[in-house]
Amino acid sequence: MIKSMTGYGRARQTLGKRDITVEVRAVNNRYLDCAVKLPRAYAFAEDAVRKHVQQAVSRGKVDVLFTIDSTGADTAKIVVDRSLAEGYAAALRELAEICGTEAKLTPETLARFPDVLTVTKAEEDLDALGADICTVLDEALAAFNAMRAVEGEKLAADIGGRLTTIETLTAKVEARSPETVAEYRRKLTARMEEVLQGASVDPQRILTEAAIYGDKVAVDEETVRLRSHVAQLRGMLEADEPMGRKMDFLIQEVNRESNTIASKCCDVSIAQVAVNLKAEVEKIREQVQNVE
């Protein structure tokens, strides 16, 4: 079943002591345009995020927003610079000797000196962290696609109903078209009899003129192609793969056939049907712009 290009999905999980929230939203676009917003510290995962989005979405303007609270995952490591501490201790003993006093060295005293103690963050496993980010992303994409599928069902129902209307209108054109040729032949016969004032009318000439007129207004080829296009569109509505671009191209062909029928018709009733036909085609074209 077709999917809509518009949708929204959200997921939140706590993985590796990090609270990860992902929001995915999209609107219509001719091609896939993906914008990823990751905290600066996690920018390394952007390529992986884009690959996951490309696997789940074929086109649309997609925004992916990450919020990552790593407070619980922050682990600090305190390192003692032994050589520097020994240097400070030796200097203090030398000063005590100069002053003639005893050096009172304690860990607290040495810890106050610059760079004796340094605090660093523990090295992180970027591959595992990137996998956690993508795990939450996949959950958000699943919710996103579920919403797009629901919207796609609505689009398919609307387009399918309009295709049925097009088939009904096409049947009216097919039924009425031969009658217009017969009416033209009767009107032409009456007019020639009126002009000739009772003189005999050449039946062969009437048939020839009617045949020429029939060729000009015949829409058999257009209605056959129109029905074929409608059948293809129905098949696309049931497809499991993205069909938006193909449907967009095919609806242009349907519009072309509708315009040709409208240009050929010289009958008021067919003209009205042609107007309704073009209106339905235009409504379908608008809906197809929302299909992935």
First CA to last CA distance, the chain: 11
Q: What residue ranges do the domains of the chain occupy?
A: 7-72+125-148, 76-121, 151-288
User: Tell me, what's the pLDDT at 179?
Assistant: 64
User: Tell me, what's the pLDDT at 249?
Assistant: 93
User: Tell me, what's the pLDDT at 26?
Assistant: 97
Which CATH architecture is the domain 7-72+125-148 placed in? 2-Layer Sandwich (3.30)
User: Tell me, what's the pLDDT at 59?
Assistant: 93
> What pTM value is reported for the model?
0.71
The token pair at 93 is 């003993």
User: Tell me, what's the pLDDT at 166?
Assistant: 94
Partners of 61 in the beta sheet?
27, 33
Instruction: Report mean pLDDT in 10-residue bins for the chain, 292 residues.
Output: 94 92 95 94 93 95 94 73 88 85 84 83 80 96 96 95 94 76 57 56 58 57 89 92 92 90 75 89 94 94
User: Tell me, what's the pLDDT at 146?
Assistant: 96
User: Tell me, what's the pLDDT at 262?
Assistant: 80
